[in-house]
Structure 1
Amino acid sequence: MNISMINGNKGFCLARLKTLVVLVFCGSFLFLSLEARAFSGGTHGDASHSYRDSLLRRISTTGSLSMDCRLSYPIGSAIPDPSFGDNAREFSALREFLRLSLGDTLLVVRDVSLTGYCSPDGTVWLNERLAVDRTRLLHQYLCDRDPVFVQYPARVSSRGADWTGLRRLIAASGYSWSGEALRIIDSDVSPERKKLYLAALDGGRAHQIIYDLYPLLRRVEVKVTYDVPAMRRQGTLPPDIPASADFKSAENRGSAIDRQYCDTLIYLVDKSADCVEREPLFALKTNLLFDAALAPNVELELPLGRSWSVMVEYTFPWWLHRGDIFCMEMLQGGVEGRYWPGHKKRLPDGSRRRLLTGWFVGGYTSGGYYDFQFKRDKGYQGEFFIAAGVSGGYSCRLVRGLNMEFSLGVGALSTKYRQYEVVRGAERTELVRQNAGKFFWLGPTKAKISLVWLVGEGRKKR
């Protein structure tokens, strides 16, 4: 055996040895990496399997999955905007729900539905119209942008005011007036009367709590229903999956959204438990019809007990236009007494009606001076005018501390006047008296659409 052959064999053995060492090293590294990944990701894998198993249990038990989508909108708008308010997070949750409920090819989807709900507050027809439009436009939005959702034709509908949802939230609160509120919701009275009775619960203290719950009722329910027998036949679901203890307890606790409702309601109850409603001390008003005619005015109404009030008013337009060609000058004052029927009686929940709100009747008298010139060369001056009669109207609530009042007065008006002509000389202008007369009118003498500020109304700590 020559030297070259020995050296060649030695080199070959060394190369094989190096290759073996590299393979062992790589194998050890790969093994340790897999062990580390299994150690760090084992919990995630178990959680994923556990979550999917819980999902299948829910489908097997209820036959469907659902999510309440609550989007924020500008006032009066129905177009879904991901950049508005907290909509980005809501859309992210909706996409995740659609991925889980529709994206698994082993799930046999039978039906997809979108159902819109609105809150009971405000105008019924407007809220229902918005619920329909928002549900329809959300469906269109998902069809245009979600490739999973577009594979399944969806039914779109609207249920209107969600009294059932409001009942569930109030029942979960455990507040002292909850039982009475549930009896009002379950009664056969009209929705408007239900809102009136709920607003008066606990002396009006429950109104703000219930009002703050209304945004939670404005939603679109996205529901996916599955063909459970078909899924059992194909083996996705075993013939019978009993609901585990964890699943049952989760069902009893409710979904995360239900817990959010309860937490929100408890927070609102706790926040206002030590608050009481303050009744208005008096009301400041302005007649918007006079304001539109450039006649500034102010009214002050003082409640006398619960069923009576007295109001004083003052109107004081005093302006000239185009160098004394036109003028409107009037100083007028008046007083009115009012009776508010039904304010002594208590509502079915034991509370009372709000002061200076509702229907009223009364009697009034007023008087003043005036100088009107609406033509270039002719005008009328009033020595004194007086009016008296009966009035009636209705004051409705806009927001806390602010009302809108509609009233009409019918009676008699009498005035003495003198007509004058305007004579313009080179140096001065004179008013030349032409004739005098009396005017008497029997019929409507005043009409008002007044904006009312209830001074002092609000909430305060006990």
Structure 2
Amino acid sequence: MRKKIIPALLLAALLAGKAQAAIVSDSLRTTIYYRTASARLELPYMDNDRHLAALGDSIRSLGADPAVVLRRILIQASASPDGNTKYNKELARKRGEDLRDYLKNNLSLPDSIFTLQPQGEGWSELAEKLGRTDAPWRDKAIAIIRDTPEWVVREGKVVDGRKRQLMNLAGGRAWQYMKENLFDSLRSGALVVCEVERIERMKPEPEYTPAEVRQATDMTAEGTEETPATETESTATLYNKEDETMPQDNTDKVTAEKKPFYMAAKTNLLYDAALVPNVGLEFYLGKGWSIGGNWMYAWWCKDSKHRYWRIYGGELDIRKYFGRKASEKPLQGHHLGVYAQGLTFDFETGGKGYLSDFSYGFGLEYGYSLPVAKRLNIDFGISVGYDGGKYKVYEPEDGCYVYKETKRRHWFGPTRAEISLIWLLGHGNENSKKGGTK
């Protein structure tokens, strides 16, 4: 039996000869970045143009090699877990489609070579990043991501879910930590993996003379009972996690360099309607907190009719944003705060006048900031507190202003009303659409 098998194997090797080849798998990959809540591919953003140019050069160089076949371009698009789940999944799908169209048009590739795998929310990436932290609740968070379904449904109703459990973990501190330290790095958008098959030549087999071939054939034919030879293949697999020609996936490093910055410029439309021009700025401090200031100035007068409308001063406030909208993006949703103000005024409408060198107030405020456009919000608010200070009462007589008395004001109750137009400023401080974020 052994004498029959050996010549058969020798004959198979001779017939294959030195032209025998092996399939080698290879891959090229890069990561493309998107702005928060955006599915539009921006080439200058975070070196996307450099990444895509390097990818294109690599694909073209592979295409010039007749021994290489580009089998598939896999696009895995995702979004960070914060925000509305349904919107995040749609955002991931749009990012993948937009990137596919760009590559198809610029590299003249067929539709069939692309495979889109929208990842939705990047839970696995979040778990991986959590594993590299030393947060005390880390293991619990990873267990929730691994073991809790996206939605827990009982009797046809959603009663719990993965995101809800994470938001409640450690009294909300875990979710806040992830928002401030991890979610930004999950907004990379899309991973592009080019899968390549390459024919690599094997080492040449020894040359055999025709006489040796005939001898091997004769040895096989001598057997009265033939045993089929087991055919063998020599294959090798090569997987390059990061191709040398491709830019590395430095998500955390690039995100740190491009950390979002949130601020807003505003004007209270109610003050504007009362002919008191005003402007304010608000800065996001993190963890839902912000600090802001406003300045107002009006200096209208018509001395011939004893009409004055003069006021100037400022306000400072500290706010805490909360609720679902606030968890999606800073400077929106419900907010509570404290404020303090100081101002001077002179009001007269043809009769008695009221003049204050300095008045002050402080109290509590509540409001809701509603997204209405990409860079615009409307903020509705009301404040209650205390207004105090001295003011003088005077009357115009014979072209003069006659002082009557000095009074002190003590007022507890509603002190301010606000319908402010908010202009969002800063990197990443954009609404995705009217009434929504992320």
Same fold, judged at TM 0.5 (above): no
Indicate the structure whose relative CO is greater, using CA pairs within 8 Å and at least 6 residues apart: 2
Q: Could you say which structure has the larger radius of gyration?
A: 1
Q: Where is the helix percentage greater, Structure 1 or Structure 2?
A: 1
| TM-score, reference length from structure 2 | 0.44
Q: Where is the strand percentage greater, Structure 1 or Structure 2?
A: 2
